[in-house]
Amino acid sequence: MINVGIIGSGFIVPIFLETTKLVKGFRYVGIASPVEEQLKTLKEKYGISYYSLNNDDVLSDPKIDVIYVAVPNGLHYEIAKKALLNDKHVIVEKPFMSSYRQAKELIDLAREKNRIIFDAVTMLHMPNYKKMKELLGQLGDIKVVDINFSQYSSRYDKFKKGITLPAFDYKLAGGALMDLGIYNINFTLGLFGEPKKVSYFPNMKKKVDTSGILVLDYGTFKVNAICAKDCKGPLLTVIQGDRAMLRSDDASSVIAAFSLIQNDGSRKEFSLNRHKEIPHYHEYVVFKKLFHEMDLETARKYNEHTLLTMKVLDKALKSGGISFK
């Protein structure tokens, strides 16, 4: 059994709880956040042993093996570091950290402590994503990758009225690139590795990017990746080669289904993920295995992908003139 402590009580926490219930083998020991009403509801619904308004009560609890970090982006570093210093394994919601420097420090600390620090990146562990990678060779020469992850945020209505919630708070590392664009980066880097050039063209409002276009230049092909929280668009993920293409009408975070479409129009459909209604399932199957086998070597391989993602994210933020200060 994996004894879990949770820091945070926002919308992603019930998703984590529902997913890990399905995976099985997770016991919910404690949860902490400043929002007591949410804590009471989560404790009662999911059988969490206790809640606290003080994060340190959970972070230092000797009965807890793993801390799940689900706080606003700008607080990930502080909470994850405290967890590691308390000898906990750590699962960090996306985006992993706000900078490469923070990510490198904590990954090195986890190595020093012989602890797993796990970047909760959904699609990397999905059978559909792995199949896409396997099929790349059938596309011929890759020419263009086109990704659109546009999701109008209800928080944007409040933002326009002067109410700034964490998703649009630059001081908490909010914005479209950190919220949605990070999926586009993870998706692309997992397939093609590090690009030669990184450019981000954001639409800025009150010092935060509410939408933007990320261009990744691989020399022989280009990636055009849209992320938007201030407008709605068609979810689309397409990899175009000179012989065929892979197309999904899903966000890059999910890829619930996709098609291999040849130039002559013939196509083959793929839908390989288990529990399609719970896209996070596969990542927690992976974490459970890492934990029980104490497979630090494999965990560190995942960390290398995280560090590459953070390196590209740093370049994108710098290119777009985005600062969290």
What are the sequence ranges of the domains in the chain?
A: 2-120+281-309, 123-272
Report the interhelical angle of 127-135 vs 182-192 (nearest 10°): 50
pLDDT exceeds cutoff 90 at 74 = yes
Angle at the Cα of 214 from the Cα atoms of 208 and 217, rounded to 5 degrees:
150
Asked whether the predicted pLDDT for residue 295 surpasses 90, the reply is yes
pTM for the full predicted model: 0.95
Measured CA to CA, the distance from residue 200 to residue 7 in angstroms comes to 31
Per residue in 205-218, pLDDT (tens digit) is 999 999 999 999 99
Domain 2-120+281-309 in this protein, CATH class: alpha beta
Stretch 282-305: mean pLDDT: 98
Percent pLDDT > 70 in the chain is 100
Residue owning tokens 């509410």: 210
Complete edge-to-edge strand list for the sheet that includes strand 89-92: 50-52, 26-32, 2-7, 66-69, 89-92, 117-119
* Mean pLDDT of the 91-96 span: 97
Q: Sorting pLDDT into bands at 50, 70 and 90, what band is 170?
A: very high
Per-residue confidence band for 276, with pLDDT thresholds at 50, 70 and 90: confident
Burial letters for 162-183: b for 16+ Cβ neighbours within 10 Å, e otherwise?
eebebbbbbebbbbbbbbbbbb
Amino acid 46: pLDDT: 97
Half-sphere exposure of 266 (CA within 13 A, CB side): 2
Identify the H or E element spanning 160.
helix 154-160
Q: Which two tokens stand for residue 10?
A: 């926002």
The single-letter code of the amino acid at 25 is: G
Mean pLDDT of the chain: 97
How much is the average pLDDT of 33-59?
97
H-run or E-run covering 128: helix 127-135
State yes or no: pLDDT of 275 exceeds 90.
no
Residue position matching structure tokens 């010092």: 207
| SS3 assignment, position 219 | coil
> Going by DSSP bridges, is the β-strand pair 50-52/117-119 parallel, antiparallel, or unpaired?
unpaired
Q: What is the mean pLDDT of residues 61-74?
A: 98
pLDDT in tens, 103-161: 999 999 999 999 999 999 999 999 999 999 999 999 999 999 999 999 999 999 999 99
**Residue among 93, 92, 208 at smallest CA distance from 153:** 208
Determine the pLDDT at residue 31.
98
Nearest to residue 43, comparing CAs of 31, 59, 35? 31
Architecture of the domain spanning 123-272: 2-Layer Sandwich (3.30)
Percent of the chain surpassing pLDDT 90: 98
Position 277 pLDDT exceeds 90: no
Question: Pairing mode, if any, of strands 66-69 and 50-52?
Answer: unpaired
The arithmetic mean of pLDDT across residues 34-51, rounded, is: 97
